[in-house]
Amino acid sequence: MALIVQKYGGTSVGDVERIKNVARRCIAAQKAGHEVVVVVSAMSGETNRLLKLVSQITDRPSEREQDVVAATGEQVTIGLVSLAIQAQKRKAVSFMGHQVAITTDSAFSKARIKSIDAEKIRAALKKKHIVVVAGFQGVDEDGNVTTLGRGGSDTTAVALAAALKADACEIYTDVDGVYTTDPNVAPAARKLDRISYEEMLELASVGAKVLQIRSVEFAMKYKVPLWVKSSFTDDPGTLVCEEDPSMEDVVVSGIAYDKNEAKIAIRSVPDVPGVAAKIFGALDEKNIIVDLIVQNVSKDGRTDLTFTVGKADLVKAKDVVRKIAKAIKIKAEDVEMDEQISKVSIVGVGMRNHSGVAAKMFKVLAGAGINVQMISTSEIKVSCVIHANYTELAVRELHTAFGLDKPVSEGVAESVPLKG
Amino acid sequence: MALIVQKYGGTSVGDVERIKNVARRCIAAQKAGHEVVVVVSAMSGETNRLLKLVSQITDRPSEREQDVVAATGEQVTIGLVSLAIQAQKRKAVSFMGHQVAITTDSAFSKARIKSIDAEKIRAALKKKHIVVVAGFQGVDEDGNVTTLGRGGSDTTAVALAAALKADACEIYTDVDGVYTTDPNVAPAARKLDRISYEEMLELASVGAKVLQIRSVEFAMKYKVPLWVKSSFTDDPGTLVCEEDPSMEDVVVSGIAYDKNEAKIAIRSVPDVPGVAAKIFGALDEKNIIVDLIVQNVSKDGRTDLTFTVGKADLVKAKDVVRKIAKAIKIKAEDVEMDEQISKVSIVGVGMRNHSGVAAKMFKVLAGAGINVQMISTSEIKVSCVIHANYTELAVRELHTAFGLDKPVSEGVAESVPLKG
């Protein structure tokens, strides 16, 4: 008998029929002899409806009160899922975050889980209940309701799996697994049977939003075997797990892209100590996250500094940069912004033991006539910033070049789209 | 400086604009120098939407899980009202039932409040916050969410006022006070400036649903001065308070009617001990509440037994009665049901010191050609069951006969309808 934590996202509980379907799946797992804990999100559209109400009241909401409103979405779902399980003649009990002491810090709207008291859940499991827990929400040490940020239910599920020492954590979603890349962009994309935590982290952080990045970090830290599965099929899905030697045979596991960044270039920056610190310090003060940074070698005591930020932060970032540019006497025309960019990344633990991977990537892109504007590498990832128009072309060319295309005989039946 | 508990019902917080209006009213009370605690209901329609979701899942929901779903309505409102107050530059903080330990028994969907820990509220008031508390919901001793039944937010408000020893509890609704009767039925109905707890209880229990009956019992027990006011006007409203001698000058304070009962008559019941006990015992076992009971004097060792039950319980009651009738050998045709009835009641503490009030009621009804089918009296109330067709006529005739019509000069401007 195994202990399994299942998590169903908003689409999987999007209406009454789907909720009944989730109940059937939980019961099937219990009938197969497992203890079952289910984590659910708000019904799809519900969190947006609630946040819209908030925005109609005020455009600068206190995050404590916003969390009080937003947390109701998951509360509705746990009640309905429990009722659906009971209607199918099995025992079920629902718990909100505070009822099982999913204790977080007090960073409302993006709280982090600090501890979970698994006792109440264990007691309910012992009584043969399917335990239904609200995702996304927790409680701080003063008893205030907190939420974990978008996609936070994934993290709730993994944290519960870790606290309960569960045998597996299954994330049910509207795709049937993790793909080598977005099948909407590259029809030859293949579903992966397995992927390492590290690769998944890199893929998640570069735009493949099938799992919340924090949930993968959590799973890696506590070694929770994490399955990504579809709630609408019986496909085994993708297992996200610890790296094993066989994984290194594959050089590139997946290709991701991100169109949500913008590039800021500052030309002719005086190449003296402290200038970069000034610029990035000021951006940090405004909570603007900088992704890639490239600084060219100096020429005549001046250098070019280029970096990317999220498109949503571009207006704020412009203000900061223009102010500093003025202070260090850089001409306005030497500050350039570009929103027409995208970041394409190849990811694979096999890169550690294979040389020439980056060089091959540049060659493939050059072969397709695509200019590389910025480059960033990590141990298991190479990212290139290119013009946004060439995103899809780059993804397809790289997918083929690194041997990820599925065999032609497999057909197109399984090309369920990957969100991202 | 007074401590005031204000309660706003679903209509008063029915949309974003109305929520902003509620915020303005709370702030006005604070600016007038008071400490303000606000209790709010779910936005109008919200509880029904949630219960509809439940009914789509199952027609026999576990009440524990149903309460988990239903309690979210109030949670949304406390967040939004707090945000609206903050948007108007005043401090506010929201609390759910469990956060201020509104401890109830475990009778899900109709729980009763056992205790409230007012410390957290007092601390927030000291910090100049307007404190916004979710009505309708509590928590039992095992930490389960409970709800108090329809209209339960009134009870939350009065219980909080009692626990905080508040100077007043103001119930804001869509009517501007308690009326002598339903102005939709009798346009001459007058708004009452004051009414005693006891009279309000009798009026509430006979169909004037302006206040939940339990909230009035609570207010009477803890002597909480209770105001019924409109959230849309500045009318002073009606004060529900302890009886004082001047109230007894008025013989009849109000007239209520109830069309939600049905009558069951059993003819030729053997007039032997234990028959009535058998019938009403069986009804009680099925949780059917019997209102009026009339048994005529015996004739030839047989008697007629007539009683009323809620229309919603009629089908269940029929089954019970037919079964017993068969057992004690009463012919099927001797069991009669009648749904075409209504109960009209006159209420007033002045009855205690005035004789002939019931007789006058019968005379008025007879004068209007209305046959009285059943009669029930208490110290401050006389109820008559009549044919439903004559309800409005009876109410108007009694209203005039007992001197309740407003002076003609008052016009019709204030005839805001009384719910019921």
Return the pLDDT at B413.
40
pLDDT at A220 over 60: yes
Nearest CB neighbour to B75, from listed A19, A56, A68 = A68
Q: Where are the domains of chain B?
A: 3-174, 263-338, 341-404
Quick check: A93 and B64 CB within 8 A?
Answer: yes
The continuous run of DSSP H or E covering A139 comes out as strand A137-139
Greatest C-alpha distance within chain B: 79
Query: Does A78 contact B at CB distance below 8 Å?
Result: yes
Q: At A240, is the secondary structure helix, strand, or coil? A: strand
CATH architecture classification, B341-404: 2-Layer Sandwich (3.30)
What are the CB-based long-range contacts (under 8 Å, 24+) for B117-123? B118/B160, B118/B163, B118/B164, B120/B95, B121/B37, B121/B95, B121/B160, B121/B164, B122/B164
Residue A21 to residues A14, A27, B53: CA-CA distances in angstroms? 11, 10, 15
Q: Which residues between 14 and 43 in chain B have a beta carbon less than 8 angstroms from any beta carbon of chain A?
A: 16, 19-20
How far is the alpha carbon of B1 from chain A, nearest alpha carbon, in Å?
28
CATH match of B263-338 with 1.10.10.200? no
Per-residue pLDDT of A116-153, as tens digits, reads 999 999 999 999 999 999 999 999 999 999 999 888 99
Helix ranges restricted to H, B34-193:
46-57, 63-70, 72-87, 119-126, 152-163
Question: What letter does residue A105 receive in the DSSP assignment?
Answer: -
Quick check: A79 and B86 CB within 8 A?
Answer: no
Give the number of other Cβ atoms within 10 Å of residue B404's Cβ: 24
Superfamily of domain A3-174: Acetylglutamate kinase-like (3.40.1160.10)
Superfamily of domain A341-406: VC0802-like (3.30.2130.10)
**pLDDT tens string for chain B (420 positions)?**
899 999 999 999 999 999 999 999 999 999 999 999 999 999 999 999 999 999 999 999 999 999 999 999 999 999 999 999 999 999 999 999 999 999 999 999 999 999 999 999 999 999 999 999 999 999 999 999 999 988 899 999 999 999 999 999 999 988 889 999 998 899 999 999 999 999 999 887 665 567 888 899 999 999 999 999 998 898 999 999 999 888 888 889 999 999 999 999 998 888 777 888 889 999 998 889 898 888 877 778 888 889 999 998 999 999 999 998 888 888 888 899 999 999 999 999 999 888 889 999 999 999 999 999 999 888 899 999 999 999 999 999 999 999 999 876 544 443 444 443
CB of A30 closer than 8 Å to CB of A94: no
CB of B352 closer than 8 Å to CB of B380: yes
CB of A302 closer than 8 Å to CB of A270: yes
How far is the alpha carbon of A130 from chain B, nearest alpha carbon, in Å?
13
- Both tokens of B182, joined, read 């339903």
Per-residue pLDDT of A300-358, as tens digits, reads 888 888 999 999 899 999 999 999 888 888 888 889 999 999 999 999 999 988 888 99
Q: Which residues between 79 and 138 in chain B have a beta carbon less than 8 angstroms from any beta carbon of chain A?
A: 79-80, 82-84, 86-87, 92-94, 96, 98-99
Per-residue pLDDT of A273-296, as tens digits, reads 788 888 999 999 888 989 888 887
Q: Which residues of A are annotated as a binding site for ATP?
A: 7-10, 173-174, 179, 209-210
